[in-house]
Amino acid sequence: MQCKYHPDREAVYFCASCNTPLCSECAEEVRPGEYTCFQCAMLQTVTSVGSNIRDRKEKVLEKEVRKKKKWGPFRYFVIVCSVLILSMWGVIIFGGKPAPEQTASSIDKNKAGRVLLFLVNGSIKRYAHYEGNQYPERLADLVPRYLHVKKNQIGLLGKLRYARDPDPSIGYRLSLAHVKKGQMNITLTAGGVRYSLGQGEGT
């Protein structure tokens, strides 16, 4: 049998794809022991290149799909929570809570004593929080940073009796300076509230 492309030569191989007889010069070995003609070899090469391009595109698409799947609802939830937590910590660390805008002078005169007592107690606790668990020497030390009163109304603090206590569980004692006989006297401390019966003016 003669080679299809060289009729003057004897065919030594047959094309694995189209069974065309081939001489040793026309046969191309694609795998050990497997030969193809030039046209079939070109066709296989073009086909394999096309399939390689298709495979690469599929791999790229798969990677994109995986990336999209990674950013599911859980990750968005984690990101939103992280932002909220960081902003809360920012407010806690850098914001702080300002002293209340209510001033001691805006209190109703009938309830002035007890309301002033609790207002000043809150200011003392704020003072202790920001000053390293120390209590003020006197109530005037609270003005103006921890307690808002006008300069001409600092005398309102004279309605209260205040003293620091060496016992850390008590810390300080704050009560009304004048309690009528038979009325309940409230003494505020760092440890809580204490009640006693008033003994009359000056106690």
pLDDT tens-digit profile of 33-75? Answer: 888 888 888 887 777 766 777 778 888 888 887 776 666 778 8
Task: Compute the distance between CA of residue 43 and CA of residue 17 in angstroms, rounded to an integer.
Answer: 10
Is it the case that residue 93 has pLDDT exceeding 90?
A: no
What is the pLDDT confidence band of residue 100, given thresholds at 50, 70 and 90? low
The sign of the dihedral angle between the CA atoms of 48, 54, 55, 60 is positive
Task: Compute the distance between CA of residue 73 and CA of residue 79 in angstroms, rounded to an integer.
Answer: 10
Say if pTM beats, i.e. exceeds, 0.85.
no
SS3 10: strand
Task: Compute the distance between CA of residue 94 and CA of residue 96 in angstroms, rounded to an integer.
Answer: 6
Q: Angle CA(26)–CA(32)–CA(37) in degrees, nearest 5?
A: 25
Residue partners of 63: CB distance under 8 A and separation at least 6:
none
SS3 2: strand
What is the structure's pLDDT at 202?
43
Is it the case that residue 110 has pLDDT exceeding 70?
A: no
Contact 194, 187 (CB under 8 A): yes
Average of pLDDT values for 10-23? 87
H/E stretch holding 78 reads helix 73-90
Alpha carbon separation from 30 to 33, 52, 190 (Å, rounded): 8, 17, 93
